[in-house]
């Protein structure tokens, strides 16, 4: 069969572009992935105990984009789910992101108003001129004590370097609150697919013009057969690392099943200062499944392995900009997704970017 497009990577980026090209333009697509399953890092399945687990850690869908939400709603029904996270600090669990309850629990206050907490932050925060990294970002917002209790250890473990070596955007992803809102996200839409992500992905790719080949690596595919390529793998890999490797952070996941209904009070527990793992996730809180057993995953950050997180700092940005310039020169190859654009994007941002890419390719705005 002759294909119009080779799409590399069957995560959100690859599947969304494939779906649009096939259903809106009638293009014939070969979608490949080196893994054994579609869905990229959002892949989930039911384990041997009947519990739905997410193989690459918790994936909470949240967005303010009507456009992205209504597009994905063609392929999934939704369960409304608001994520909550507790961090283990000095022998107690406190809400993350930091809120009034966190401050009261950590420092023994009984603050009841936003104003009291605001004044507390004002008394703690440090005056730092230009913010150039994540440590400065946090200390300028909440001061050294909170930085050391909640941010320094977690960030150092996750990224394998001190927060002072990371761009402000890393710790800037989390809000700092004065109220008692303990939700992790405040987006308008906070959902997970009722039948799981794997089912969302199989609907996304069900068009007859999309042919999928798993366990297939891009390097093993004769690319001269394809007029156009959409590449959602690591951009440095595509160019044979000519400018060196871009830094990525990886993870090792350990799954444990317990013979009891729940082991945590919320879906996610963070461990900023103890243990080698950074967080523990209990999936039944997310999926709402009923089962007398429960499965959790522990995440151990590691140096090498699957590239999960692009590392945002000045060095990686300067390497990426060279690859980006090379990519700009190619007429028939498009780069998309978290790895193809080397951006620490959430799922909704990847979907939005992929829809925009399709608009660019098709020359239409839908
Ligand atoms: P991916 O999902 O990484 O898919 C890329 C695919 O390309 C992979 O399947 C890979 O095997 C394949 N591939 C790469 N190179 C090749 C090659 N050479 N040949 C063939 N195939 C190749 N986002 C949220 O919105 N909410 C969350 O709660 C959330 N939690 C996350 C937790 C973790 C631990 C991680 C790592 C990410 C999380 N994300 C979350 C981000 C989310 O995973 C991404 O935004 C999204 O999955 C990116 O989709 P993608 O298609 O760009 O990349």
Convert the pLDDT of each residue in 181-200 to its tens digit: 999 999 999 999 999 999 99
Mutate to test the pocket of ligand 1, among 6, 9, 12, 267 (most ligand atoms within 8 A of CB): 9
Nearest CA to ligand 1 atom 30: 59
Distance 127 CA to ligand 1 centre (A): 37
Q: What residues are paired with 191 via a beta bridge?
A: 61, 80
223-273 per-position pLDDT tens digit = 888 889 999 999 999 999 999 999 999 999 999 999 999 999 999 999 999
Q: Would the pLDDT of 101 be above 70? A: yes
Convert the pLDDT of each residue in 164-173 to its tens digit: 999 999 998 8
On the question of pLDDT at 100 being above 60, the answer is yes
Mean pLDDT of 70-74: 98
Handedness of CA 281, 285, 286, 292 (dihedral sign): positive
Which atom of ligand 1 has the smallest separation from the CA of 217?
19
Residue 49 has pLDDT above 70, yes or no: yes
Among protein residues, the one with the nearest Cα to ligand 1's atom 39 is: 346
Does residue 21 contact residue 5 with C-beta atoms inside 8 Å?
yes
pLDDT at 119: 98
Sheet with 61-63: list strands edge to edge.
Answer: 61-63, 189-193, 78-80
Cα separation, 230 vs 318, in Å, equals 23
* 13: CB partners within 8 A, 6+ apart: 40, 230, 232, 336, 337, 338, 340, 350, 353, 354
Q: What is the pTM of this model?
A: 0.96
Least confident of 244-248, 331-335, 361-365: 361-365
Instruction: Ligand 1: list residues with CB < 6 Å.
Output: 8-14, 32-35, 40-42, 56-61, 217-218, 232-233, 237, 251, 308, 337-339, 345-348, 350
Please say if the pLDDT value at position 364 is more than 70.
no
């Amino acid at each position: 069969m002759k294909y119009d497009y080779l799409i590399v990577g069957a995560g959100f980026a690859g599947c969304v572009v494939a779906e649009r090209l096939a259903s809106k333009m009638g293009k014939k697509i070969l979608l490949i992935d080196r893994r054994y399953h579609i869905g990229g890092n959002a892949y989930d399945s039911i384990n041997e105990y009947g519990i739905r687990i997410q193989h690459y850690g918790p994936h909470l869908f949240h967005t303010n984009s009507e456009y992205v939400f209504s597009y994905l709603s063609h392929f999934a029904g939704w369960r409304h789910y608001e994520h909550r996270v507790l961090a283990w600090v000095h022998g107690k669990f406190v809400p993350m992101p930091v809120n009034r309850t966190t401050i009261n629990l950590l420092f023994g206050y009984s603050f009841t108003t936003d104003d009291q907490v605001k004044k507390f932050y004002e008394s703690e925060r440090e005056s730092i001129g230009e913010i150039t990294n994540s440590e400065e970002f946090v200390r300028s917002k909440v001061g050294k004590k909170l930085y050391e209790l909640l941010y320094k250890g977690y960030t150092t473990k996750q990224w394998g370097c001190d927060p002072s070596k990371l761009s402000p955007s890393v710790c800037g992803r989390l809000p700092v609150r004065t109220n008692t809102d303990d939700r992790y996200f405040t987006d308008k839409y906070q959902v997970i697919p009722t039948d799981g992500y794997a089912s969302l992905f199989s609907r996304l790719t069900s068009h007859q013009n999309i042919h999928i080949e798993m366990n297939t690596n891009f390097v093993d595919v004769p690319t001269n057969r394809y007029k156009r390529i959409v590449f959602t793998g690591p951009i440095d890999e595509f160019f044979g690392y000519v400018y060196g490797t871009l830094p990525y952070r990886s993870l090792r996941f350990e799954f444990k099943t317990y013979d009891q209904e729940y082991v945590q009070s919320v879906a996610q527990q963070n461990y900023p200062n103890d243990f080698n793992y950074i967080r523990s996730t209990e999936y039944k809180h997310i999926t709402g499944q009923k089962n007398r057993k429960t499965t959790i995953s522990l995440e151990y950050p590691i140096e090498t392995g699957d590239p999960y997180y692009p590392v945002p700092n000045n060095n990686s940005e300067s390497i990426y900009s060279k690859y980006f310039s090379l990519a700009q020169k190619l007429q028939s190859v498009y780069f998309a997704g978290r790895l193809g654009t080397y951006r620490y994007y959430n799922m909704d941002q990847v979907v939005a970017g992929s829809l925009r890419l399709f608009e660019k390719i098709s020359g239409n705005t839908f």
